[in-house]
A and B are shown apart, each in its own frame.
Chain A
Amino acid sequence: MSGKTLYDKLWDSHVVTDRPDGSSLIYIDRHMLHEVTSPQAFEGLRIAGRKPWRIDANLATVDHNVPTTGRESGVEGIEDPISRTQVQTLDQNCNEFGIVEYGMNDKRQGIVHVIGPEQGATLPGMTVVCGDSHTSTHGAFGALAHGIGTSEVEHVLASQCLVQKKSKNMLIQVDGELKPGITGKDVMLAIIGTIGTAGGTGYAIEYAGSAIRSLSMEARMTICNMSIEAGARAGMVAVDDKTIDYVKGRPMAPKGEMWDQAVEAWRDLTSDPDAAFDKVVHLDAADIEPQVSWGTSPEMVTNIGGRVPNPANESDPIKREGMERALKYMGLKADTPMTDIKLDRVFIGSCTNARIEDLRQAAAIVEGHKVAPTLKQAMVVPGSGMVKAQAEQEGLDKVFLEAGFEWREPGCSMCLGMNPDQLGEGEHCASTSNRNFEGRQGFGGRTHLVNPAMAAAAAINGHFVDISDFYSKAG
């Protein structure tokens, strides 16, 4: 019998009961909540007269809807009355049910997927769920983490469990040495470009190989974050020293003897050498270049040195039609060099790329330069209040502000534009977020997904540039 994958181990340790119909009841260790996908779940609890099963397993914050400016007047000051109501509704629900919430002006507030790891609310070996598809982020800790719908939010609140069917195992092995300046974002966009946005459907993905091992925890979070863009609900990385070092000392991490006991258990959170995967994909790290998306799906991505593809070269008629539609929406001509695409706005933020290392990488490029005068806006939205404070302590805010960037309060912001941070119709944006869907960042807005340094360089030049030179000079 072959050994177990990391996913097998996480699954097995959370099975409450296996049912005769082939489904299982899976226990949830950590449930994160935000204002958009929870109100109907709390309402459901009230209607059914149910109480949360285990209050301490829940942690809430407001992120999707909150404004990134003018927070002085608090929640009352949110201009959009519908957004305000939704934020207030989470406050009320958390109050009523006794759930810990980092409210809008709490310094720990931020994007759920940034604050979970930051606070040590995400730990190796946990099952982590949230009514948000980017919950896969937490898998970077050797955790089983995935997004759920609102009915399941209610289900977890009421029972601390989910009814699940086990996914298949996929291994994505990235070996070799990454070129200087190649980030987790580039690795993940290259993976999605290879396997497609439905490539991981039905699978739990484990990212492994020497290139993944070489990446920091934050870069691994970026990779796991976009598992859903590859079709997989959950993505994960095995535990190693980096994982344990990152977790140590976090506010909600275990302490003292309990810490030692936990670390001993966490060391086993790796796939056994003889574990069998249903599908294995190999990528050579040395082949990965800075990535830029050209279309309206994250799989529509190419190297910075590449060109907008020509649909005429696509043999599959459905794919060709999709490409033609994407080019029309994006206002791009086939065969245009990626570096010729002019930009209107630049957004550095989101649960994918708004952690301190992301801001450092962007600031390193920005330092001593100015945002191109052709740009309407360049903004940096830190992932959390803690990231913001850290960046300010390092003086990164000044680097951005002096260059002409806006320095905002934490939240999801222009990644999905539920708050006032949106693209105008026809505007091109270099964005460090995760989705380039039609209308995602604003009605008619045109998103190009890139890493933070690429976004920063694009802001300075007004168009995409290859930043490889910057890194080769820096040595």
Chain B
Amino acid sequence: MKAFTKHTGLVAPLDRSNVDTDMIIPKQFLKSIKRTGFGPNLFDELRYMDGGEPGKDNSQRPLNPDFVLNQPRYQGASVLLARANFGCGSSREHAPWALEDFGFRAIIAPSFADIFYNNCFKNGLLPLVLEEKEVDELFKSVEAVEGYSVTVDLESQTVSTPEGKTYSFEVDEFRKHCLLNGLDDIGVTLEDADSIHAYEARRRQEAPWLFPAE
């Protein structure tokens, strides 16, 4: 996994709440058996005027000029500013894959849906929660100032703005550790293999019906 330490990037504002993972990456693109290549279809139904299909040449499709990621001033954005309950709905990890593949490294929102939030950390993408009023302030600044960039620092758990403001965010220690170091958490878990075996032996005594006959 790609590590995340500190990132400075252009902010794109997506001003709607309850953005679901169906919206982030529609179902027809979930037929892929790969982890990569979802970026061109990120927010497909919002981004293009026609219906997308796997294999369709996206460069030939009509773009929706009103959609934020199509606007010239947000080209190259790598920080997504979003509203409450971002990533709700389906557990599809294709959603963070698509965001990451498109070029996003961090998402700022007042709240995230649980499964999506968890999935982001597995993919070098940092979802960070700021207070509603802080997010409001950022929306105002981003819309007012073209080329508005922020610096997200995972080590110090802060977001710094060009005006010199600093916002702090919370993050679980384990997630932070894995993301900072780009760790494969399966490897970390398997270091506890003895504990897993011990649990299984104990559990087999308590609840033998959960295990095949020896």
Residues of A within 8 A of B (CB): 13, 16-17, 19, 21-23, 25, 27, 29, 36-37, 39-40, 43, 48, 50, 53-54, 56, 64-65, 80, 82-83, 85-86, 89, 123, 125-126, 131-133, 146-152, 154-155, 158-161, 163, 165, 167, 197-198, 201-202, 228-229, 231-233, 254, 258-259, 261-262, 265, 297, 318-319, 321-322, 325, 416-418, 425, 435, 437-440, 443-444
A151 near B93 with CB under 8 A, answer yes
Chain A residue with minimal CB distance to B117?
Answer: A201
B186 near A416 with CB under 8 A, answer no
A159 near B115 with CB under 8 A, answer no
Known: A40-B35, A202-B114. 7 other contacts (CB 8 A): A13-B203, A36-B92, A43-B35, A56-B212, A133-B115, A197-B85, A439-B26
Q: List 13 A-B contacts (CB under 8 A).
A: A16-B196, A19-B174, A25-B195, A27-B196, A132-B91, A149-B96, A155-B186, A158-B189, A159-B186, A322-B16, A418-B30, A418-B31, A443-B51
B118 within 8 A of A: yes
> Hey, which chain A residues are within 8 Å of B71, CB to CB?
none
B122 near A152 with CB under 8 A, answer yes
> Hey, which chain B residues are within 8 Å of A425, CB to CB?
51
B186 near A325 with CB under 8 A, answer no
- Contacts known (A80-B31, A198-B88); A29 close to B174, Cβ less than 8 A: no
A61 to chain B, nearest CB (A): 17
A159 near B33 with CB under 8 A, answer no
- Contacts known (A165-B172, A443-B45); A16 close to B192, Cβ less than 8 A: yes
A320 to chain B, nearest CB (A): 11
- The one of A16, A149, A254 in contact with B115, judged by C-beta atoms closer than 8 angstroms, is A149
A147 near B177 with CB under 8 A, answer no
Give the contact stretch, choosing among B17-25, B62-70, B158-166: B17-25
Query: Measured between alpha carbons, how far is A22 from B175 in the docked complex, in Å?
Result: 11
A163 near B122 with CB under 8 A, answer no
A438 near B90 with CB under 8 A, answer no
- The one of A163, A231, A435 in contact with B113, judged by C-beta atoms closer than 8 angstroms, is A231
B207 near A262 with CB under 8 A, answer yes
Size category, B interface: 35 or more
A261 near B122 with CB under 8 A, answer no
Residues of B within 8 A of A (CB): 16-18, 20, 22-23, 26-28, 30-35, 45, 51, 54-55, 83-85, 88-93, 96, 111, 113-115, 118-119, 122-123, 172-174, 177, 184-186, 188-190, 192-193, 195-196, 199-200, 203, 206-212
- The one of A40, A126, A254, A416 in contact with B33, judged by C-beta atoms closer than 8 angstroms, is A40
> Hey, which chain B residues are within 8 Å of A165, CB to CB?
172
- The one of A36, A43, A85, A261 in contact with B208, judged by C-beta atoms closer than 8 angstroms, is A261
Query: Measured between alpha carbons, how far is A48 from B1 in the docked complex, in Å?
Result: 13
> Hey, which chain B residues are within 8 Å of A83, CB to CB?
31
B85 near A163 with CB under 8 A, answer no
> Hey, which chain B residues are within 8 Å of A440, CB to CB?
22, 27
> Hey, which chain A residues are within 8 Å of B196, CB to CB?
16, 25, 27, 53, 159-161
- Contacts known (A197-B85, A437-B20); A154 close to B186, Cβ less than 8 A: yes
- Contacts known (A37-B93, A439-B23, A440-B22); A198 close to B209, Cβ less than 8 A: no
- The one of A19, A25, A265 in contact with B207, judged by C-beta atoms closer than 8 angstroms, is A265
> Hey, which chain B residues are within 8 Å of A261, CB to CB?
208-209
A36 near B30 with CB under 8 A, answer yes
> Hey, which chain A residues are within 8 Å of B189, CB to CB?
25, 155, 158-159, 161, 163
B38 to chain A, nearest CB (A): 11
Chain A residue with minimal CB distance to B30?
Answer: A36
Query: Measured between alpha carbons, how far is A407 from B111 in the docked complex, in Å?
Result: 42
- The one of B91, B96, B177 in contact with A37, judged by C-beta atoms closer than 8 angstroms, is B91
B212 to chain A, nearest CB (A): 5
A141 to chain B, nearest CB (A): 13
- The one of B16, B119, B192 in contact with A151, judged by C-beta atoms closer than 8 angstroms, is B119
Query: Measured between alpha carbons, how far is A148 from B196 in the docked complex, in Å?
Result: 20
> Hey, which chain A residues are within 8 Å of B188, CB to CB?
163
- Contacts known (A16-B199, A17-B192); A50 close to B186, Cβ less than 8 A: yes
> Hey, which chain B residues are within 8 Å of A29, CB to CB?
210
Query: Measured between alpha carbons, how far is A160 from B91 in the docked complex, in Å?
Result: 19
> Hey, which chain B residues are within 8 Å of A148, CB to CB?
91, 115, 118
Chain B residue with minimal CB distance to A30?
Answer: B210
Query: Measured between alpha carbons, how far is A202 from B113 in the docked complex, in Å?
Result: 8
A197 near B115 with CB under 8 A, answer no
- Contacts known (A27-B203, A297-B18); A198 close to B111, Cβ less than 8 A: yes
B177 to chain A, nearest CB (A): 7
Query: Measured between alpha carbons, how far is A53 from B199 in the docked complex, in Å?
Result: 13
Chain B residue with minimal CB distance to A153?
Answer: B93
Chain A residue with minimal CB distance to B20?
Answer: A437
Query: Measured between alpha carbons, how far is A167 from B208 in the docked complex, in Å?
Result: 27
> Hey, which chain B residues are within 8 Å of A262, CB to CB?
207, 209
